[in-house]
Copies of this chain bind each other. A is one copy, B any other.
Amino acid sequence: MSETSLPAPTSADVARLAGVSRATVSYVLNDTAGGRVSEKTRLRVRAAADQLGYVPHAAARSLRAGHSGLVLMATPEITFGPLFNEFFSELRAGLRDHGYTAVLYGSRADLSGREIARAWAELRPTAVITGVTDDLSPEGVEILRRSGTRAVLTLAAKPVSGAHALVLDQSEVGETAGAHLVARGHQEIGVIMPTDPTLRLFSEPRLSGVRSAATPAGARVEPLDLDYTEESAAALAARWRSLGLTALFCYNDEYAALLLAAFHDAGIAVPAEAAFVGSDDLMLARLLRPRLTSVHVALPQGLFLADLIDRLIREPDAPLETHRVGTATITVRDSS
């Protein structure tokens, strides 16, 4: 690879080739020229940069243009289901339409909260959206803001001091499932608790939600640990009749699919012997037989969120905003 031994072209090389000053090169390539540079000169500078393969540095550009245009999305290291994948994909497209570059940044389990904020800040993002509020302290928000991040937005159960918040209350998911089952007369309700530790962030508030709907109605709620394996599902099916339960909130649709296959193989009738409720209302819920009753979570549209982020970036000193998102409703099908 002989190219690697050539020195990288600099803005001085571009200036020389185009016959302009380095300041003019900087104005043109960083889009900070305003009306100061003629169209003809712009074209000449761009042609020279193209010819030499010169690329301005995003970071240097951020110093001059005022911001990098990077929107850093920090996500916990869990395998997202289809619901969140679609959400992130829409958000990414919405941000792109606003001229930002969305980058997904994996969590760093090896770093403390302060260190992770610093690692994010090193990229000089214009905005940070994080679903990992465990990692983000008020001090972390300040580190980001002092390094130039204009908007910090959390997507979690609780706001973090200093940051804008999209409040996504997972307990509402459980409450909606519990209220439905109680209304159908169930007084003995099992709640699937995935043993995958990365899912506790979701499963624990969902369990409390089921409890908060069931307890006032005098119903009993029993948490049931489950690995995401056929063996674990078969073991639960084998002891189902000894548990004295009549209904099951399955954590989500994918766990419900796993359990439905096991209950089918064990000859346990759904919903007669076990009413099933899933969550996320995926396409999968409609493909199962019996079709699965599922909690529908309305995440905000990517375009709405991109508009919001764009506005927060443009008004970095505006008061903090809190938006409730992810309203839960129940889609009743044949399994409950």
Where the two chains meet, the residues of A that have a C-beta atom closer than 8 Å to any C-beta of B are: 1, 3-6, 8-9, 50, 53, 55-61, 70, 77, 79-80, 82, 85-86, 89, 92-93, 96, 101-106, 108, 110, 114, 118-119, 121-124, 142-143, 145-148, 150, 162, 228, 230, 257-258, 260-261, 264, 283-284, 286-289, 316-317, 320
Contact assessment for A124 and B59 in the assembled complex, using a CB-CB cutoff below 8 Å: yes
**Minimum CB–CB distance for A10 against chain B, Å:** 11
A89 to B77, CA, bound (A): 7
Contact assessment for A53 and B142 in the assembled complex, using a CB-CB cutoff below 8 Å: yes
Contact assessment for A53 and B143 in the assembled complex, using a CB-CB cutoff below 8 Å: yes
Residues of chain B lying within 8 A (CB to CB) of residue A146: 3, 6, 8-9, 53, 55
Residues of chain B lying within 8 A (CB to CB) of residue A148: 8
A131 to B316, CA, bound (A): 36
Nearest B residue to A99, CB-CB: B110
A198 to B60, CA, bound (A): 35
Residues of chain B lying within 8 A (CB to CB) of residue A86: 79
A141 to B121, CA, bound (A): 28
A258 to B57, CA, bound (A): 47
Contact assessment for A142 and B3 in the assembled complex, using a CB-CB cutoff below 8 Å: yes
Contact assessment for A96 and B110 in the assembled complex, using a CB-CB cutoff below 8 Å: yes
Contact assessment for A289 and B264 in the assembled complex, using a CB-CB cutoff below 8 Å: yes
Nearest B residue to A97, CB-CB: B110
Residues of chain B lying within 8 A (CB to CB) of residue A264: 289
Nearest B residue to A262, CB-CB: B287
Contact assessment for B85 and A101 in the assembled complex, using a CB-CB cutoff below 8 Å: no
Contact assessment for B79 and A92 in the assembled complex, using a CB-CB cutoff below 8 Å: no
Q: List 27 A-B contacts (CB under 8 A).
A: A1-B145, A1-B320, A8-B146, A53-B143, A55-B121, A56-B122, A57-B124, A58-B59, A58-B123, A58-B124, A77-B92, A77-B93, A79-B82, A79-B85, A79-B86, A92-B106, A93-B106, A101-B105, A101-B106, A101-B119, A103-B105, A103-B123, A228-B283, A257-B284, A258-B287, A261-B287, A284-B284
Contact assessment for A317 and B106 in the assembled complex, using a CB-CB cutoff below 8 Å: no
Q: Told that A55-B143, A58-B59 touch, could you supply 5 new A-B pairs with CB distance under 8 A?
A: A1-B320, A57-B59, A103-B106, A257-B284, A260-B287
